[in-house]
Amino acid sequence: MNLDGNQASIREAIDAGLLAGAVTMVWQAGKVLQVNELGHRDVHAGLPMQRNTIFRIASMTKPVTVAAAMSMIEERRFALNDPVAQWLPELADVRVMADPSGPLEATVPLNRPITIDDLMTHRSGLAYAFSVGSPLSRAYGSLMFRQDQDRWLAELARLPLAHQPGERLTYSHSTDVLGIALSRIEGKPLADVLATRILNPLAMSDTGFAVSHEGRRRAATMYKLDEGGTLRDDVMGPAPVTLPTFCAGGAGLWSTADDYLAFARMLLGGGSVDGVRVLSEDSVRLMRTDRLTDQQKAYPFLGMPFWRGRGFGLNLSVVTDAAQSRQLYGPGGLGTFSWPGAYGTWWQADPSADLIMLYMIQNLPDLSADAAAAAVAGNTSLAKLQAAQPRFVRRTYQALGS
């Protein structure tokens, strides 16, 4: 078995100047079969990508926060169907938009309270600025993370919900809100909650909301393709060495390929890895079980038919029909689960093949309408970059004979 061919699309993107570098990993049946260290974590400084390079993992944070919540549910600190207003009274009297595209002032009352389950499945009615239309989008765009979690939540609670809780899935700040709930229930910062319940037991020493001074030297620079298809590196500051004022449970973690592999192995192994049990099998089963109704799957996800052959558990996408899913999203057997990050970090665990794959890059996405139009029109630079990861996945499966 030779996995070297799975590097080709990534090297092409690097050689074309569309990607600074990547770290990829293939694990199967208890062994790391391959680690690719390609390109640079900082092009101008000439610093190569390395296996221990630290990445902003964005929404790959979400399953970690949910896993911590599940460990608290096991202790009966709360239940999935509990109203979150017990700990987040700011959300007790939130209103709902009468028309999703109408004025913010035209609202109706809640049909029922927002629950913990709603937060874990993005069915709360909360949103992101890029997941809803105006004028709600503009209102979300004014939210500032550079304040403490209580002030941020108070600002969020003044905005109306996009729809009634439980009605449909809208990708959102729900996991950030869940993180605040965990912090209040435990009476400690979310960083400590995640460290105690997930990161320390799994020896994820390079994962957190900040990095060490030594870790900053290993952190990957964030890049962005400008309008001319050229990489820019002036889009984000250096990795923080002190905790941010607001530790966002939906997107704030930094991590490495090996650290996240430990987390993915825990979920694939039913809650334990290397003799360490972090979650019960029942908790992991809940996370990996589709919870969407057929009606909810009929709604596009960020403009895509995301739920074709797939469902959504507790912040994990889950393959429910491998043949249908493969057509749009590449190989992965029944029950394959994943959740990516906006900066290009990606992973999936395939129980049918006892296989975990990780793909780590740092590219700031363009979520504008112009970027979407360029992709549809066949912008070759953008297409080559976007094709690198799915080709890596397909070629890996081909080499493994799966």
The answer to the question of residue 191 being in a domain is: no
Q: Does a cis peptide bond (omega within 30 degrees of 0) precede residue 189?
A: no
Residues 210 and 353 grouped into a single domain: yes
Residue 352 to residues 331, 335, 348, 349, 398, Cα–Cα distance (Å): 11, 7, 12, 9, 15
- Phi, psi of 375, rounded to the nearest 5 degrees: -65, -45
Residue 379 has pLDDT above 70, yes or no: no
Query: How far is the C-alpha of 18 from the C-alpha of 117, rounded, in Å?
Result: 39
Q: How many whole angstroms separate alpha carbon 156 and alpha carbon 92? A: 12
- If asked whether residues 298 and 393 sit together in one domain, one would say yes
Same-domain pairing of 171 and 220: no
Residues 303-318, mean pLDDT to the nearest whole number: 95
How confident is the model over 127-133, as a mean pLDDT?
95
Q: Same domain, yes or no, for 53 and 76?
A: no
Assigned domain for 192 exists: no
Question: Cβ distance 180 to 187 under 8 Å?
Answer: no
- In degrees, to the nearest 5, what angle opens at C-alpha 84 toward C-alphas 78 and 89? 125
- CATH number for the domain spanning 161: value is 1.20.58
The C-alpha atoms of residue 320 and residue 72 are separated, in whole angstroms, by 28
> What global pTM score does this model have?
0.96
**304 and 209 together in one domain:** yes
**222 & 351 share domain:** yes
pLDDT tens per residue across span 65-95: 999 999 999 999 999 999 999 999 999 999 9
Average predicted confidence (pLDDT) for the chain: 94
pLDDT given for residue 234 in this prediction: 84
> What tokens were used for 88?
């987040």
User: Considering the domain boundaries, does residue 65 fall inside one?
Assistant: no
Residue 367 pLDDT: 63
Q: What is the mean pLDDT of residues 102-109?
A: 96
pLDDT digits (tens, 9 = 90+) for 40-50: 999 999 999 99
**Measured CA angle at 216 (ends 211, 221), to 5 deg:** 115
Q: Are 40 and 77 part of one and the same domain?
A: no
Lowest-pLDDT choice from 282-286, 302-306, 312-316, 390-394 = 302-306
Domain that holds residue 136: 72-186
Q: Report if residue 230 sits inside a domain.
A: yes
Structural domain contains residue 37: yes
Instruction: Determine the pLDDT at residue 373.
Output: 47
**3-state SS track over 290-318:** CCCCHHHHCCCECCECCCCCEEECCCCEE
DSSP code of residue 160 = P
One domain, residues 79 and 130: yes
145 CA to centre of own chain: 17
- Are 166 and 295 in a shared domain? no
Residue 304 pLDDT exceeds 90 = no
Out of 8-12, 135-139, 375-379, which region has the weakest mean confidence (pLDDT)? 375-379
Q: Average pLDDT of 381-389?
A: 85
Count of domains in the chain? 2
Domain-embedded: residue 67: no
Distance CA(119)–CA(30), nearest Å, equals 33
Compute CA distances 211 → 208, 250, 252, whole Å: 7, 18, 12
> Does one domain contain both 166 and 272?
no
What is the torsional sign of CA 345, 37, 372, 129? positive
Same domain, 163 and 263: no
How big is the CA angle at 97 (ends 297 and 303), to the nearest 5 degrees? 35
For residue 361, pLDDT over 80 is answered with yes
CATH of the domain at 32: 3.40.710.10
Decide: 381 and 18 in contact? Cβ < 8 Å. yes
Separation of alpha carbons 64 and 248, rounded Å: 12
Q: Are residues 222 and 316 in the same domain?
A: yes
Q: Please check whether residue 198 lies inside any domain of the structure.
A: no
Quick check: is 163 in a domain? yes
Q: What are phi and psi of 337, to 5 degrees?
A: -130, 155
